[in-house]
Amino acid sequence: MKKTALIAIGGNSLIRAGERGTIDEQLKNAHATARCIVQMVAQGWRIVITHGNGPQVGAALMRSERAASDVYTHPLDVCVATTQSEIGYIIQRAMEFELREIGLLTPVMTVLTQVKVDENDPAFSNPTKPIGPFYSKSDAEEKQRTLGWHIIEDAARGYRRVVPSPEPVEVFEQEIIRKILDLNMIVIAVGGGGIPVIEREKYLVLGREAVIDKDRASALLATGLGVDLFIISTDAEKVCIDFKKPTQHGIDIATADEMQKFYDQGQFPAGSMGPKVQSAIRYLRNGGKKVIITSYEFLMDALDGKAGTRIVP
């Protein structure tokens, strides 16, 4: 039986530092990632792709707010749904092209995905999830004053708007995703962490103004599907200890318990590597087999144990 891998792609991997984020730029970046993923397909892996949407959902919300006097507005959950379609379309196009370039006709499908959250989650009163572009301190303070935004300094790169980020509880479309995999199709799902919804009664769901962390939602889906490998694609080859210090060094392989100790020491900030390491630990402690954290350029080497950070139970 074919092995299954879930690959979580960061929203920033489609919009690189210094880029405006045009569709052409995102397509170019998606092709670069897709070229690496299709090599896994060629080796016989079944693939689920998930993705972030931090820059894109911030842009969608900004468009809605700026055009509010002329057209109807979109609440944040609808912005997440919009970006699921937008980014799914971009990745699907890139994957289909790159598959055919190597002679594969594997179908690719994007699944609009709802993820259940707890309406009493304390995250709703404590926004922490960065979205949208980076701002200077003065611009951020102006938006905070005039628009009521919650602003934080993000990873020493500037200031960003933050919104609630509740914990994912259930991926509603999980069994649909499983059935599509069984048809030997590539699935793109849980875009932007999934559309955040609460369940009031059977079959009644209500959207909530939030953005779920895509790595946590991806870990939940990876656990539910029982995948053989959970890959978190980021902008670094390896997870590092003592980041940006003279003693910085990358982690080649570690256990979940060892990564937890590093996390407890404050090695992985909440605004960067923290959620990825947390998600890896959750997946492994819930029966997962192996996690790889690396950038897409090193994906094939990481599968061979020659690059990236491997985390095992």
Q: Is residue 284 part of a domain?
A: yes
Give me the residues paired with residue 229 across strands.
5
Q: Is residue 297 part of a domain?
A: yes
* Same domain for 272 and 134: no
Burial (0-12, 13-18, 19+ Cβ within 10 Å), 104: middle
DSSP 3-state of 55? helix
pTM: 0.93
What's the pLDDT score for residue 156? 66
* Same domain for 100 and 53: yes
Q: Is residue 215 part of a domain?
A: no
Q: Is residue 25 part of a domain?
A: no
- From 306, 268, 312, 300, select the one nearest 7 (Cα to Cα): 300
Arithmetic mean of pLDDT, 91-100: 98
Q: How far is CA 275 from the centre of its chain?
A: 10
Inform me whether the pLDDT recorded for 71 exceeds 80.
Answer: yes
What are the tens digits of pLDDT across the range 225-269? 999 999 999 988 999 999 989 999 999 999 999 999 999 999 998
- From 77, 112, 125, 117, select the one nearest 199 (Cα to Cα): 117
* Same domain for 185 and 117: yes
* Same domain for 252 and 116: no
* Catalytic site includes residue 271: no
What's the pLDDT score for residue 147? 79
Please, which pLDDT band fits residue 19 given cuts at 50, 70 and 90? confident
Percent of the chain with pLDDT over 90: 78
* Catalytic site includes residue 276: yes
**DSSP per-residue codes, 63-102:** HHHHTTTTS----HHHHHHHHHHHHHHHHHHHHHHHHHHT
- From 257, 262, 265, 254, select the one nearest 292 (Cα to Cα): 254
C-alpha span between 244 and 24 (Å, rounded): 33
Please, which pLDDT band fits residue 138 given cuts at 50, 70 and 90? very high
* Catalytic site includes residue 184: no
Between 153 and 3, whose confidence is greater? 3
Q: 129, 132, 192, 238: which is the annotated catalytic residue?
A: 129
Contacts 24+ apart (CB under 8 A), 88-94: 88/51, 88/188, 88/191, 90/14, 90/23, 90/26, 90/27, 90/30, 91/9, 91/30, 91/33, 91/34, 91/49, 91/51, 91/188, 92/188, 93/27, 93/30, 94/27, 94/30, 94/31, 94/33, 94/34
Q: 10, 11, 271, 288: which is the annotated catalytic residue?
A: 11
* Same domain for 196 and 146: no
Please, which pLDDT band fits residue 2 given cuts at 50, 70 and 90? confident
Q: 116, 214, 238, 290: which is the annotated catalytic residue?
A: 214
* Same domain for 56 and 70: yes
The set of residues, in sequence order, having a beta carbon less than 8 Å from that of 238 and lying 6+ positions away, is 250, 251, 252, 293, 294, 307, 308, 309
The mean pLDDT value of the chain amounts to 93
Give residue 252's domain range.
Answer: 228-236+247-313
What's the pLDDT score for residue 161? 87
What's the pLDDT score for residue 275? 93
CB-based contact 66:24 (threshold 8 Å): no
Q: Is residue 114 part of a domain?
A: yes
Inform me whether the pLDDT recorded for 203 exceeds 90.
Answer: no
Q: Is residue 151 part of a domain?
A: yes
Q: 132, 276, 288, 308: which is the annotated catalytic residue?
A: 276
Token readout for 207 is 């959207």
* Same domain for 195 and 83: yes
Comparing 41-50, 133-142, 255-264, 286-295, which segment has the lowest mean pLDDT? 133-142
How far is it between the farthest Cα atoms of the chain?
Answer: 57
* Same domain for 90 and 76: yes
Token readout for 273 is 């590597």
* Same domain for 156 and 183: no
* Same domain for 142 and 232: no
Q: Is residue 283 part of a domain?
A: yes
Give me the residues paired with residue 232 across strands.
8, 293
The set of residues, in sequence order, having a beta carbon less than 8 Å from that of 72 and lying 6+ positions away, is none
What's the pLDDT score for residue 272? 80
Q: 10, 12, 192, 288: which is the annotated catalytic residue?
A: 12
Inform me whether the pLDDT recorded for 155 exceeds 70.
Answer: no
Between strands 150-153 and 46-51, the pairing is: unpaired
Arithmetic mean of pLDDT, 14-22: 85
C-alpha span between 166 and 107 (Å, rounded): 33
First CA to last CA distance, the chain: 23
What's the pLDDT score for residue 270? 79
What's the pLDDT score for residue 286? 97
* Same domain for 184 and 94: yes
What's the pLDDT score for residue 7? 98
* Same domain for 186 and 78: yes
How many domains would you assign to the chain? Answer: 3
* Catalytic site includes residue 12: yes
